Amino acid sequence: MGKKVIKLDFEDVVIANEDGSTTRALYEWFNFKPEIGDLVDVFPDGDELIIHKAIAATDNLQDKININIVNENNNTQSVGGYVQYGKVVNKWVYFLLAFLLGGIGAHKFYSGFSGKGIMYLLFSWTMIPGIIAFFTSIATLLKTADQNGNIVVTS
């Protein structure tokens, strides 16, 4: 069975031995934070003890689950055999923002081009951003979306 941590006191830890006796150990002798039920290996070292966490026979390191998730979304989309670089956005959300709120640059903020969005806001009184946004919304309708309904916006 081995030795097992059975009690945690303020100053020390009580370890149950195989023969039914107990051993008291200071927290500083542990190379880990002890918890009740931990199996431990105890080695005497003069007046002190060296205590390591034991691996139980039922613990098999190969049975542990290791999940590694890699997100390689680099905002590129392959269309017609060539790769387009830019921001990936939903086609219909981008269209509606450009058509309805394009004069104040809402579609630019949505696609991550905040600097251009601010420029649209600053010059919105001239109506020029609204005209540009109208043509942008028409161009958006002509773009082919991927299987998720997304398009690539370059600027």
Helices (H), 22-147: 91-101, 106-110, 114-122, 128-142
Q: What is the pLDDT of residue 75?
A: 59
Question: Is pLDDT above 80 for 108?
Answer: yes
Higher pLDDT, 56 or 12: 12
The pLDDT tens digits of the residues spanning 62-93 come to: 556 667 776 665 556 555 555 567 788 999 99
pLDDT at 99: 94
Domains plus CATH for the chain? 3-56 (2.40.50), 76-153 (no CATH)
Percentage of the chain beyond pLDDT 90 is 33
How would you label 29-58 residue by residue, b for 16+ Cβ within 10 Å and e otherwise?
Answer: bbeeebeeebbbebeeeeeebebebeeeee
- The answer to whether 25 and 51 are in contact (CB under 8 A) is yes
pLDDT above 80 (res 16): yes
Residue 143 pLDDT greater than 60, yes or no: yes
pLDDT band, very low/low/confident/very high, at 58 (cuts 50, 70, 90): low
pTM of this structure:
0.48
What is the chain's mean pLDDT, rounded?
83
Chain mean position to CA 108: 26
pLDDT at 82: 56
